[in-house]
Amino acid sequence: MNDITSATLYKFDKLKDTLKAMDRVIIAYSGGVDSAFLLKAASLSVPGEILAVTGISESLPEEELSFARELASSLSVKHLTIFTEELKNENYVSNPPDRCYYCKKDLFRRLRQIASDENFTCILDGTNADDANDWRPGRRAAREEEVVSPLLEAGLTKKEIRELSRNLGLSTWDKPATPCLSSRFPYGHSITAEALDRVHRAEKYLKQLGIKELRVRNHSETARIEVHPEDFGIVLNDTVREKIIAFLKSIGYKNVTLDLQGFRSGSANE
Protein backbone atom coordinates (compact mmCIF):
# COMPACT_ATOMS: atom_id res chain seq x y z
CA MET A 1 0.00 0.00 0.00
CA ASN A 2 1.37 3.38 -1.02
CA ASP A 3 2.44 5.84 1.69
CA ILE A 4 1.37 3.56 4.55
CA THR A 5 3.91 3.07 7.34
CA SER A 6 5.08 -0.39 8.32
CA ALA A 7 3.55 0.12 11.78
CA THR A 8 0.13 0.81 10.27
CA LEU A 9 0.43 -2.15 7.90
CA TYR A 10 1.33 -4.37 10.84
CA LYS A 11 -1.85 -3.27 12.62
CA PHE A 12 -3.89 -3.86 9.48
CA ASP A 13 -2.47 -7.38 9.12
CA LYS A 14 -3.29 -7.98 12.79
CA LEU A 15 -6.86 -6.84 12.16
CA LYS A 16 -7.25 -9.14 9.15
CA ASP A 17 -5.83 -12.10 11.09
CA THR A 18 -8.37 -11.47 13.86
CA LEU A 19 -11.23 -11.32 11.36
CA LYS A 20 -10.05 -14.47 9.56
CA ALA A 21 -10.50 -16.39 12.81
CA MET A 22 -14.18 -15.44 12.95
CA ASP A 23 -16.97 -17.31 11.22
CA ARG A 24 -20.30 -15.48 10.91
CA VAL A 25 -20.27 -11.89 12.13
CA ILE A 26 -22.68 -9.03 12.70
CA ILE A 27 -21.24 -5.53 12.35
CA ALA A 28 -22.88 -2.54 14.02
CA TYR A 29 -22.71 -0.32 10.96
CA SER A 30 -23.48 3.38 10.63
CA GLY A 31 -21.67 4.10 7.37
CA GLY A 32 -19.15 6.32 9.16
CA VAL A 33 -15.38 6.18 8.70
CA ASP A 34 -14.73 3.45 11.27
CA SER A 35 -17.62 1.07 10.66
CA ALA A 36 -17.21 1.40 6.88
CA PHE A 37 -13.53 0.50 7.15
CA LEU A 38 -14.34 -2.43 9.43
CA LEU A 39 -16.95 -3.64 6.95
CA LYS A 40 -14.43 -3.46 4.12
CA ALA A 41 -11.77 -5.28 6.15
CA ALA A 42 -14.30 -7.95 7.11
CA SER A 43 -15.32 -8.40 3.47
CA LEU A 44 -11.66 -9.15 2.70
CA SER A 45 -11.08 -11.48 5.63
CA VAL A 46 -14.09 -13.11 7.30
CA PRO A 47 -14.54 -16.61 5.84
CA GLY A 48 -18.25 -16.85 6.65
CA GLU A 49 -21.32 -14.62 6.39
CA ILE A 50 -21.22 -10.92 7.23
CA LEU A 51 -24.35 -9.00 8.24
CA ALA A 52 -24.15 -5.21 8.52
CA VAL A 53 -26.89 -3.82 10.77
CA THR A 54 -27.87 -0.15 11.01
CA GLY A 55 -30.14 1.17 13.74
CA ILE A 56 -32.70 3.67 12.44
CA SER A 57 -34.16 6.36 14.67
CA GLU A 58 -34.92 10.08 14.71
CA SER A 59 -31.28 10.78 15.59
CA LEU A 60 -29.95 9.37 12.28
CA PRO A 61 -30.05 11.80 9.32
CA GLU A 62 -31.79 10.29 6.31
CA GLU A 63 -28.83 11.03 4.02
CA GLU A 64 -26.53 9.04 6.33
CA LEU A 65 -28.83 6.03 6.03
CA SER A 66 -28.86 6.32 2.24
CA PHE A 67 -25.07 6.51 2.19
CA ALA A 68 -24.75 3.46 4.46
CA ARG A 69 -27.04 1.45 2.20
CA GLU A 70 -25.14 2.39 -0.95
CA LEU A 71 -21.75 1.57 0.56
CA ALA A 72 -22.86 -1.82 1.90
CA SER A 73 -24.30 -2.64 -1.52
CA SER A 74 -21.03 -1.65 -3.24
CA LEU A 75 -19.19 -4.11 -0.97
CA SER A 76 -21.75 -6.86 -1.70
CA VAL A 77 -22.49 -7.21 2.02
CA LYS A 78 -25.95 -8.05 3.32
CA HIS A 79 -27.38 -4.98 5.06
CA LEU A 80 -30.21 -5.00 7.58
CA THR A 81 -31.90 -1.96 9.12
CA ILE A 82 -33.71 -2.12 12.42
CA PHE A 83 -35.78 0.52 14.19
CA THR A 84 -34.52 1.49 17.62
CA GLU A 85 -36.70 3.27 20.15
CA GLU A 86 -34.38 5.29 22.38
CA LEU A 87 -36.87 8.19 22.45
CA LYS A 88 -39.19 5.94 24.47
CA ASN A 89 -36.51 5.61 27.15
CA GLU A 90 -36.66 8.46 29.67
CA ASN A 91 -33.05 7.76 30.64
CA TYR A 92 -32.10 8.72 27.09
CA VAL A 93 -34.60 11.54 26.56
CA SER A 94 -33.51 13.37 29.71
CA ASN A 95 -30.03 13.54 28.13
CA PRO A 96 -27.66 12.73 30.99
CA PRO A 97 -23.88 12.59 30.40
CA ASP A 98 -24.16 8.82 29.85
CA ARG A 99 -26.97 9.17 27.29
CA CYS A 100 -25.04 7.12 24.71
CA TYR A 101 -25.03 4.13 27.03
CA TYR A 102 -28.81 3.75 26.75
CA CYS A 103 -28.77 4.08 22.96
CA LYS A 104 -25.97 1.53 22.52
CA LYS A 105 -27.51 -0.81 25.08
CA ASP A 106 -30.74 -0.94 23.09
CA LEU A 107 -28.89 -1.47 19.80
CA PHE A 108 -26.51 -4.13 21.10
CA ARG A 109 -29.32 -6.05 22.81
CA ARG A 110 -31.13 -6.22 19.49
CA LEU A 111 -27.99 -7.36 17.70
CA ARG A 112 -27.44 -9.99 20.38
CA GLN A 113 -30.96 -11.31 19.71
CA ILE A 114 -30.33 -11.45 15.97
CA ALA A 115 -27.06 -13.27 16.59
CA SER A 116 -28.84 -15.79 18.79
CA ASP A 117 -31.72 -16.33 16.36
CA GLU A 118 -29.53 -16.67 13.26
CA ASN A 119 -26.41 -18.35 14.71
CA PHE A 120 -23.92 -15.54 14.25
CA THR A 121 -20.81 -16.06 16.34
CA CYS A 122 -19.60 -12.47 16.92
CA ILE A 123 -20.93 -8.93 17.13
CA LEU A 124 -18.43 -6.26 16.09
CA ASP A 125 -18.35 -2.48 16.36
CA GLY A 126 -16.08 0.23 14.96
CA THR A 127 -14.52 1.56 18.15
CA ASN A 128 -10.94 2.64 17.40
CA ALA A 129 -7.84 3.22 19.51
CA ASP A 130 -8.47 6.97 19.87
CA ASP A 131 -11.88 6.30 21.39
CA ALA A 132 -10.23 4.73 24.42
CA ASN A 133 -9.08 8.22 25.45
CA ASP A 134 -12.48 9.89 24.98
CA TRP A 135 -15.74 9.94 26.95
CA ARG A 136 -17.57 6.96 25.48
CA PRO A 137 -20.44 5.71 27.70
CA GLY A 138 -21.44 3.30 24.95
CA ARG A 139 -18.32 1.25 25.70
CA ARG A 140 -19.98 0.00 28.88
CA ALA A 141 -22.91 -1.31 26.85
CA ALA A 142 -20.48 -3.02 24.45
CA ARG A 143 -18.76 -4.80 27.32
CA GLU A 144 -22.06 -5.88 28.86
CA GLU A 145 -23.28 -7.33 25.55
CA GLU A 146 -19.88 -8.87 24.69
CA VAL A 147 -19.41 -6.79 21.56
CA VAL A 148 -15.92 -7.12 20.05
CA SER A 149 -13.97 -4.04 18.87
CA PRO A 150 -11.35 -5.32 16.39
CA LEU A 151 -10.04 -1.86 15.40
CA LEU A 152 -9.36 -1.06 19.04
CA GLU A 153 -7.72 -4.43 19.62
CA ALA A 154 -5.46 -3.88 16.60
CA GLY A 155 -4.48 -0.45 17.93
CA LEU A 156 -5.68 1.39 14.82
CA THR A 157 -6.16 5.15 15.26
CA LYS A 158 -8.59 7.33 13.32
CA LYS A 159 -5.73 8.77 11.25
CA GLU A 160 -4.51 5.30 10.33
CA ILE A 161 -8.04 4.16 9.48
CA ARG A 162 -8.44 7.11 7.13
CA GLU A 163 -5.09 6.37 5.47
CA LEU A 164 -5.96 2.70 5.00
CA SER A 165 -9.45 3.58 3.77
CA ARG A 166 -7.97 5.84 1.12
CA ASN A 167 -5.66 3.08 -0.09
CA LEU A 168 -8.56 0.64 -0.17
CA GLY A 169 -10.59 3.02 -2.33
CA LEU A 170 -13.23 3.79 0.29
CA SER A 171 -15.03 7.10 -0.23
CA THR A 172 -15.24 7.48 3.55
CA TRP A 173 -11.50 8.14 3.91
CA ASP A 174 -12.09 11.92 4.19
CA LYS A 175 -15.68 11.84 5.37
CA PRO A 176 -16.31 14.22 8.31
CA ALA A 177 -17.30 12.62 11.60
CA THR A 178 -21.07 12.25 11.78
CA PRO A 179 -22.17 11.55 15.35
CA CYS A 180 -25.88 11.16 16.00
CA LEU A 181 -28.01 14.30 16.11
CA SER A 182 -28.58 13.93 19.85
CA SER A 183 -24.97 15.01 20.38
CA ARG A 184 -26.05 18.57 19.47
CA PHE A 185 -27.96 18.95 22.76
CA PRO A 186 -26.24 20.11 25.97
CA TYR A 187 -26.51 17.54 28.74
CA GLY A 188 -29.71 17.98 30.71
CA HIS A 189 -31.65 19.44 27.77
CA SER A 190 -34.41 17.03 26.81
CA ILE A 191 -34.28 15.38 23.40
CA THR A 192 -37.44 15.30 21.29
CA ALA A 193 -38.18 14.13 17.76
CA GLU A 194 -39.18 17.68 16.81
CA ALA A 195 -35.92 19.20 18.07
CA LEU A 196 -33.85 16.50 16.32
CA ASP A 197 -35.63 17.26 13.06
CA ARG A 198 -34.96 20.98 13.52
CA VAL A 199 -31.23 20.37 14.04
CA HIS A 200 -31.12 18.10 11.01
CA ARG A 201 -32.83 20.67 8.78
CA ALA A 202 -30.54 23.44 10.02
CA GLU A 203 -27.35 21.47 9.37
CA LYS A 204 -28.56 20.27 5.98
CA TYR A 205 -29.23 23.87 4.94
CA LEU A 206 -25.77 25.02 6.01
CA LYS A 207 -24.07 22.16 4.19
CA GLN A 208 -25.83 23.24 1.00
CA LEU A 209 -23.90 26.51 1.30
CA GLY A 210 -20.64 24.62 0.82
CA ILE A 211 -19.64 24.09 4.45
CA LYS A 212 -18.36 20.52 4.72
CA GLU A 213 -17.96 20.15 8.50
CA LEU A 214 -20.20 21.87 11.01
CA ARG A 215 -22.51 21.49 13.98
CA VAL A 216 -25.69 23.30 14.96
CA ARG A 217 -25.83 23.07 18.75
CA ASN A 218 -29.40 23.18 20.02
CA HIS A 219 -29.87 25.42 23.07
CA SER A 220 -33.67 25.44 23.31
CA GLU A 221 -34.63 28.51 21.25
CA THR A 222 -31.02 29.31 20.28
CA ALA A 223 -28.99 27.75 17.48
CA ARG A 224 -25.22 27.93 18.10
CA ILE A 225 -23.40 27.35 14.82
CA GLU A 226 -19.93 25.79 14.85
CA VAL A 227 -17.88 25.93 11.64
CA HIS A 228 -14.13 25.96 11.06
CA PRO A 229 -12.67 29.50 11.27
CA GLU A 230 -11.78 29.35 7.57
CA ASP A 231 -15.52 29.05 6.87
CA PHE A 232 -16.48 32.10 8.94
CA GLY A 233 -16.41 34.16 5.75
CA ILE A 234 -19.17 32.05 4.22
CA VAL A 235 -21.45 32.44 7.23
CA LEU A 236 -20.73 36.14 7.76
CA ASN A 237 -21.25 37.24 4.19
CA ASP A 238 -24.10 39.74 4.54
CA THR A 239 -26.42 38.09 2.04
CA VAL A 240 -25.71 34.54 3.25
CA ARG A 241 -25.94 35.54 6.91
CA GLU A 242 -29.42 37.01 6.37
CA LYS A 243 -30.54 33.85 4.58
CA ILE A 244 -29.21 31.64 7.38
CA ILE A 245 -30.98 33.69 10.02
CA ALA A 246 -34.23 33.69 8.05
CA PHE A 247 -34.17 29.94 7.48
CA LEU A 248 -33.27 28.98 11.04
CA LYS A 249 -35.97 31.26 12.40
CA SER A 250 -38.47 29.76 9.96
CA ILE A 251 -37.89 26.31 11.48
CA GLY A 252 -38.33 27.47 15.06
CA TYR A 253 -35.16 29.09 16.40
CA LYS A 254 -35.50 32.57 17.89
CA ASN A 255 -31.79 33.30 18.22
CA VAL A 256 -28.94 32.38 15.84
CA THR A 257 -25.31 32.64 16.98
CA LEU A 258 -21.86 31.83 15.57
CA ASP A 259 -19.42 30.23 18.00
CA LEU A 260 -16.15 32.18 17.67
CA GLN A 261 -14.18 29.18 18.96
CA GLY A 262 -15.08 27.41 15.75
CA PHE A 263 -15.93 23.80 15.04
CA ARG A 264 -14.73 21.22 17.54
CA SER A 265 -15.92 17.67 17.81
CA GLY A 266 -17.39 16.80 21.21
CA SER A 267 -17.70 20.36 22.47
CA ALA A 268 -20.62 19.25 24.62
CA ASN A 269 -18.07 17.44 26.80
CA GLU A 270 -16.03 20.57 27.47
Q: Are the C-beta atoms of residues 11 and 143 closer than 8 Å to each other?
A: no
pLDDT of 269 reads 62
* Complete domains list, the chain, with CATH: 6-173 (3.40.50.620), 181-269 (3.30.70.2210)
pLDDT of 134 reads 79
> What are the CA-CA distances from residue 151 to residues 66, 74, 111, 198, 214 (Å)?
24, 22, 19, 34, 26
Q: Are the C-beta atoms of residues 52 and 77 closer than 8 Å to each other?
A: yes
d(CA 105, CA 232) in angstroms, rounded, equals: 38
d(CA 19, CA 5) in angstroms, rounded, equals: 21
Let me know how long the chain is: 270
Residuewise pLDDT in 10s, the chain (270 residues): 768 999 999 999 999 999 999 999 999 999 999 999 999 999 999 999 999 999 999 999 999 999 999 999 999 999 999 999 999 999 999 999 999 999 999 999 999 999 999 999 999 999 999 998 878 899 999 999 999 999 999 999 999 999 999 999 999 999 998 899 999 999 999 999 999 999 999 999 999 999 999 999 999 999 999 999 999 999 999 999 999 999 999 999 999 999 999 998 766 666
d(CA 258, CA 228) in angstroms, rounded, equals: 11
Please name the residues in contact with 191: beta carbons below 8 A apart, sequence gap of 6 or more: 59, 87, 92, 93, 95, 99, 182, 185
